[in-house]
A and B are shown apart, each in its own frame.
Chain A
Amino acid sequence: MSHDAGSSPAHGRRIITTWLALSVIGVLAVIFGLGPHMPPGNVSDQAAEQTQTNTVLAVVMTPIFIGVITFFVYAIATFRAKEGDTGDGPYVKGDRQLSQMWVGGSIVIVLALAIYGTFELLAADKGIAGVGGGQGSSPIVTAPANALQVQVIGQQWAFTYRYPQYGDIETVRLVIPVDRPVIFHVTSLDVMHSFWAYQIGVKADAVPGADNVAGVTVDHTGTFDIRCAELCGVWHGNMASKGSVLSQAGFAAWIARQSTPVPLPGRRPVYYPDPNGRAG
């Protein structure tokens, strides 16, 4: 506040110095301390993008958080009423210039964040855009020609996986190849579920009657966790399983072992609850 710059001890300078110092420490701590451990990791391109976004947001938010906290702590520590002082503080009702700076600054930060987020969301990574999130039936993902198509079918209380390019076989374990784009088509037979493959950075709600598309390219072999992330009834908490990422040769061998393609009986595309047999 300009008008009391002369009369007061350098409150403003002290706060700004403390803020800058703490911010530098905080940002370095976020980048080098928290950054390498930031979830969900870098198992897939999409997970790596989420990790990067989490880190960038944490870096941007750290100085803001530290700035506000520094101000509050300083104000609380400094601007106390002395014991027995019943007087009032200075009659200051605002500062137009400071307000304008605040408004302008916050709008700039918001615009920068929104543009960055949009860029991350729309940027195609090896042909797969959308950072692993479910995009509905008209996705911005344009599936590369060599992409593996997997239909993820949620039902109470398990996910099953159908491989239409391999004789429509359906398995209870999700197995995908490394370094090959995978397009998930997530749907449900009964209530809403959400297909959440944490380490590979995929989350897409499974909605009956809808085809929710999400794409991923995994960079490392191994296993990952699959959970249901949308409340789907009593055994929601137990709707967890493991998926595997195999080498391309390993995947070919695995899918060949599955393929005694037993044509599945005709399946109703959606589930309609029987009014006489309902149960939670």
Chain B
Amino acid sequence: MTEIVVSNRSGFRGYSVLTGIVGAVVGYGIGIWIGHQMADRFTWFADTGQNDIGILLAYLLSTTGFLGGLGFLDYPLRRIVGQRPALAVKSKRGAAKYLGMSTDHKVIGLQYLIGIAFFFFIGGLNAMLIRTELLRPNPPVFSPGQYLTIVGMHSTMMIMMVSSIILGPFGHYFVPLMIGARRMAFPRLEALSFWILIFGGFILLTAMSYGGFPTGWTGYPPLAIQANAGMDAYVFAFFLTGSAMILNAVNMMATIISMRAPGLTWGRLPIFVWGMMTTSVLMLLGPPVLLIALFMEVLDRTASTSFFLPAGGGSPFLYENLFWFFGHPEVYILALPGFGLVLEILPVFARKPLWGYRIAVSGSVGVTLLSFMVWQHHLFVSGINATLRPFYMFTTELISVPTGFIFLAAMGTLWRAKIRFTVPMLFALAFFFNFLIGGISGVFLSDVPSDVSLHGSYFVMAHFHYTIMGGLVFAFLAGLYYWFPKMTGVELNETLGKIHFWTMFISFNSTFLPLFALGMLDMPRRVSTYAPHLQFLNDWVSISAYCLFASMLVFLANFVWSLAVTRKPAAQNPWDSRSLEWQLPTPVPVHNFDNIPTIQSGPYEYGNPNAVPIVAFHTAEPMTAGD
């Protein structure tokens, strides 16, 4: 491969996140100015003195400025004026390469890790504020508007960021390594999807300076159309992160379909890569519907259309259906990466092949297909046509069948295994415990008679926290402990890791198990005041939530301590894993493989006395023109 290095900049000269910020600020000012010129006093919020159109234009232009400042416009602009574009932008050295546009999938994976962890932390802080408010039924700590903004910040931030918490860091870092590729299919698109996502997170934070938004993460009209200027931040941020998901999905699918090394058949594909593939299908088909719905909502807010306003002939039901057509696959965008990741980890520490590989794959694929046919279970009591409810009840319950496949594969893998209880294995096992509770509570919500009493209550909240926090986030941590040595070249402290696991596992269950009871005792979601007799349970939950947050601080301490202080160098393959990414040296070379390797067997041949090595590296073979 002949690399064309046009830019050989180092340090902070040239494009970086600094120029990006300058571009964002300039774009923001221009947007506000244009907005005031074209729509002064026309779409004006009397109480906060803000111009709706100006804010939206400011967001649009600051996004453009930010991406331009990062260098994303360099390539197309050079093409337009007929110059030869810089094909490679990976020449920055040291820490600087993480603070700008990079097209190295390993750099982007680490960027994702840090970026998403940052927003995850902010979302977690908001959760602590929510639990502080709920320490007593009355009087409130925050004003009702502040409280709803905190709730919306927590939920939207988590949904936006956690959607990519596995696909972002681990998908980008490890899919090319696991399939024997040198890069993702579209490296520039890969960088774009990351920076769009991160900018979306910051835009959502700006909602606080515009009076917040009252709608939670669902953004239901007419409340969203009635709401203050902070709503624009929600809409625009969600629009950006939805776009990032689509770009991610295109890239991931193209990579997995077309860039597998010779010998890596679909039947040998690691289950984690299958998880990324199925997640990408959902990310490709779900978010476009969200983008349309958000776009119509923006028009309702600014251009006096009435897609969702009954007075003008629109219908809030339209938004509900569009939103949940995205929203339910989104739930599986959150679940599928976790399935893939824990099933990837389980064989390594059970020292057995993945039991029922094909049934595990069909489980992921089945969930993917079914997830588009269940969304109206969010609308059982909403007032849409009631005759379809048995159908959606059936499809929703049916989705537990492919989910059961994942459990079957896990249980078969553990049977007569030689389990090694490392920190990643503990998190992977806890995933199944938590997800089981999440799944079983979901059955109550899928059944209409039960759902009538439970819909909109804390029961729902407990249910999806068990699947997302207890499922996805535990899987993410399993993956982080598992792959951290490969990603950073240093080992995490195992004692601190085990302390983190046990404190987190116990405080997580102590936080969310009582919420089922609170929901059954008629506590609705998103309220800052509640019946006085529920105070004991709420206090219990709040204190457990603080412990949960503290356990995450243990993790943070371990992360920083291991990375900055002890820096114990990691072995090339500390877990004795057969998977391809562990056969590479640490740190992984910039181009991953000198020559594209040949895959000789599946990744889970543990205990097979006749197993051939998973990969044959071709070091001596001369490069071909095709590389």
**A-side interface residues toward B, CB under 8 Å?**
1, 4, 8, 11, 38-40, 46-47, 49-54, 57, 61, 64-65, 68-69, 71-72, 75-76, 79-82, 85-95, 98-99, 102-103, 106-107, 110, 113-114, 117-118, 120-122, 130-140, 186, 190-192, 194, 196, 198, 201-205, 207-212, 214, 225, 227-238, 270-273, 275-280
Beyond A110-B394, A228-B524, A238-B144, list 7 extra A-B contacts (CB 8 Å).
A91-B608, A94-B412, A203-B455, A272-B312, A275-B304, A277-B46, A280-B228
Report the nearest A residue to B418, measured CB to CB.
A81
* B350 cross-chain contacts in A, Cβ below 8 A: 79, 89
Does B110 lie at the interface of the complex (its beta carbon under 8 Å from any beta carbon of A)?
no
C-alpha gap A45/B350 in the complex (Å):
51
Determine whether B587 belongs to the interface, using a CB cutoff of 8 Å to chain A. no
Contacts A57-B450, A113-B447, A209-B315 given; does A1 touch B304 at CB 8 Å = no
Given the known inter-chain contacts A87-B418, A102-B408, please indicate yes or no for A39 contacting B440, CB distance below 8 A: no
Cβ-defined contact, A64 with B440, below 8 A: yes
Does B390 contact A279, Cβ atoms closer than 8 Å? no
List B423-460 residues whose CB lies under 8 Å from chain A: 429, 432-433, 436-437, 440, 443-444, 446-453, 455-457
Measured between alpha carbons, how far is A16 from B443 in the docked complex, in Å?
A: 24
Contacts of B527 in A (CB 8 A): 236-237
A61–B440 contact, CB under 8 A?
Answer: yes
For this complex, 7 residue pairs linking A to B, each with C-beta atoms less than 8 Å apart, are: A39-B521, A47-B453, A57-B447, A88-B418, A89-B417, A140-B387, A229-B524
Q: How far is the CA of A186 from the CA of B381 in the complex (A)?
A: 11
Would B418 and A270 count as touching, CB distance under 8 A?
no
Q: Which 7 A-B pairs have the closest CB atoms?
A: A209-B310, A237-B527, A212-B383, A229-B456, A88-B607, A135-B386, A272-B311
Given A69-B436, A76-B429, A117-B447, A91-B227 contact (CB < 8 Å): no
B585 within 8 A of A: no
Q: Which of A90, A93, A110, A132: most chain B Cβ within 10 A?
A: A93
Pick the residue among B223, B310, B522, B529 that contacts A198 (CB under 8 A): B522
Is the beta-carbon distance between B448 and A231 smaller than 8 angstroms?
no
Alpha-carbon gap, A194 to B148, bound state (A): 17
Residues of A within 8 A of B511 (CB): none
Given contacts A89-B350, A117-B447, contact A237 B382 (CB under 8 A): no
A107 near B417 (CB under 8 angstroms)? no
Q: A187 to nearest B CB, angstroms? A: 9
Given A207-B316, A237-B530, A72 contacting B417 (CB threshold 8 A): no
Which residues of chain A have C-beta atoms less than 8 A from B572's C-beta?
none
Contacts of A72 in B (CB 8 A): 411, 414, 429, 432-433
| Chain B positions within 8 Å of A87 at CB level | 351, 418
Q: Decide if B45 is an interface residue (CB 8 Å cutoff).
A: yes
Chain A residues, Cβ within 8 Å of B390: 114, 117-118, 121-122
Binds A, one of B59-67, B212-220, B479-487: B212-220
**Nearest residue, chain B, Cβ from A71:** B411
- Across the interface, which residues of A come within 8 angstroms of B444, CB to CB? 54, 57
Total A-B pairs, Cβ < 8 A: 334
The answer to whether A118 touches B355 (Cβ under 8 A) is no
Contacts known (A68-B411, A140-B387); A208 close to B397, Cβ less than 8 A: no
CB pair B524 A196 closer than 8 Å: yes
Q: Does B398 contact A (CB under 8 A)?
A: yes
Verify A110–B400 contact, CB threshold 8 A.
yes
Is B187 positioned at the interface, with any CB of A under 8 Å from its CB? Answer: no
Closest residue of chain B to A80 (Cβ to Cβ) is B419
B386 and A270 within 8 A (CB): no
CB distance from A138 to the nearest CB of B (A): 6
On whether the beta carbons of B404 and A53 are closer than 8 Å, the reply is no
CA distance A273 to B45 in the complex (A): 13
Task: Across the interface, name the chain B residue whose C-beta is closest to A212.
Answer: B383
Which residues in B have their C-beta under 8 angstroms from that of A135?
Answer: 383, 386
A233 touches B223 (CB 8 A): yes
Closest A residue by C-beta to B347: A89
CA distance A72 to B412 in the complex (A): 10
In the assembly, what is the distance between CA of A39 and CA of B218, in Å?
27
Residues of B contacting A38 in the complex (Cβ-Cβ under 8 angstroms)? 520
CA distance A192 to B222 in the complex (A): 7
Minimum Cβ distance to chain B for residue A191 (Å):
4
Contacting residues, chain A, for B144 (C-beta < 8 A): 234-238
B76 at interface by CB-CB < 8 Å:
no
- Residues of A contacting B393 with CB < 8 Å? 114, 117-118, 121
- When A39-B520, A196-B524 are in contact, do A90 and B448 touch as well, CB less than 8 Å? no
Across the interface, do B440 and A65 meet the contact criterion of CB distance under 8 Å? Answer: yes
Taking the complex as formed, is B357 at the interface, i.e. its CB lies under 8 A from any CB of chain A? yes
Report the minimum CB–CB distance from A40 to chain B (whole Å): 5
B208-241 contacts to A (CB < 8 Å):
211-216, 218, 220-223, 225-228, 230-231
In whole angstroms, how far apart are the Cα atoms of A65 and B443 in the complex?
A: 12
**Cα distance A241–B386 when bound, in Å?**
28
Known: A93-B355, A95-B412, A138-B386. A231 touches B215 (CB 8 A): yes
Cα(A208)–Cα(B223), bound, Å: 11
Closest to B460 in A: A229
- A114–B447 Cα distance when bound, in Å, is 8
B526 at the interface (CB under 8 A from A): yes
Taking a contact as CB atoms under 8 Å apart, the answer to whether A205 and B450 are in contact is no
What residues of chain A lie closer than 8 Å to B383, measured between beta carbons?
Answer: 134-137, 186, 204-205, 207, 210-212
The closest CB in chain B to the CB of A136 belongs to B383
Mask for B161-184, Cβ within 8 A of A = 1, else 0?
000000000000000000000000
